[in-house]
Amino acid sequence: MVWMKELEIAKVAAIEAGKAIMKVYCGEAPMQVEYKEDRSPLTAADKAANQIIVETLRSRFPQYAILSEEEKDNRSRLDRACCFVIDPLDGTKEFLKRNGQFTVNIALAYEHESVMGVIYVPVTGELYYAAKGYGAYKKMSDGEPEKLSVSDHIDRESLRVVASSSHESPQMNDLIERYQFKNLVKMGSSLKGCMIAEGKADIYYRFNPTMEWDTAAMQCIVEEAGAIFRQMDGTVMRYNREDSLNSKGFYIVNRKENLLL
């Protein structure tokens, strides 16, 4: 089953949400920063993007459930086979730093598996997307789609490693110290997975907990590009769960030979 209708609508919604985000980013609309209970920031851009995405998806797929970072969780989603998993603005800290490293993430989970993913980069206009069995692609706003494929690089001495720029962990610092990576890039949001999907990086280890909406779109894209995506204990990541916390961490590698743990 290829989820083409859902994919096309999600691509449109992500791009429209990106336009709303850029209005705030460029100062055309007020920033209006608030802080949630966990002290993570919430901006007017998060809210505007969420409204566009949720309204678009609900109008076209009313029978599907929705799990979004910026929506109150409706637990009836657990009874639905299909659930959109949304992060309207992944990388809000990077957004506030104004470094451009933030994305719009939309995924579709079918029976707890990520079967469609869209990641849009508002600052650059890069659109990454995939559906199970369809492949993974990247498209610029003025270009043709490019099919993505991970690299075949397996040289341990020159592994290209991506890591979070805003969420350091002792485990990742230990890994960096142990292997003394020569090619290490720290970056925000799901862009790290996109780099692996297009063959520009080889591994990404994330020890810190994340949420379903942080990984769902990225997982489909990297897997369709040929990467391996697993929780740190080697098990498969599932979605539309009762507990949305990705408590085990995860890793993405271009080839099994590059597994470090």
Reported as a single tens digit per residue, the pLDDT across 87-141 is 999 999 899 999 999 999 999 999 999 999 999 999 999 999 999 999 999 999 8
Q: Tell me the whole-structure pTM to 2 decimals.
A: 0.96
pLDDT at res. 29? 82
Pick the CATH number of 156-258 from 3.30.565.10, 3.40.50.150, 3.30.450.20, 3.40.190.80: 3.40.190.80
Cα–Cα dist 227/160, whole Å: 14
Mean pLDDT confidence for 1-16: 94
Q: Kindly report the average pLDDT of the chain as a whole number.
A: 95
pLDDT tens per residue across span 218-238: 999 999 999 999 999 999 999
Burial 67-105 (b: 16+ CB within 10 A, else e): bbbbeeeeeebeebebbbbbbbbbbbbbbeeeebbbbbb
Residues 6+ apart with CB under 8 A from 260: 175, 179, 203, 205
4-147: in CATH 3.30.365.10: no
CB 23 within 8 A of CB 44: no
Is the model's pLDDT at 34 over the cut of 90? Answer: no
Tokens of 110: 């079918």
Q: One-letter amino acid identity for 193?
A: G
Mean pLDDT confidence for 163-184: 91
Is the model's pLDDT at 205 over the cut of 80? Answer: yes
Cα–Cα dist 105/71, whole Å: 14
Residues 6+ apart with CB under 8 A from 180: none
Which residue's entry shows tokens 């949305």? 244
Q: Where are the alpha helices (DSSP H) in 101-206?
A: 170-179, 191-197
What are the domain boundaries of the chain?
Answer: 4-147, 156-258
Is the model's pLDDT at 1 over the cut of 70? Answer: no
Helix (H) or strand (E) run with residue 219 in it: helix 212-224
pLDDT bucket at 30, cuts 50 / 70 / 90: confident
Is the model's pLDDT at 156 over the cut of 90? Answer: no
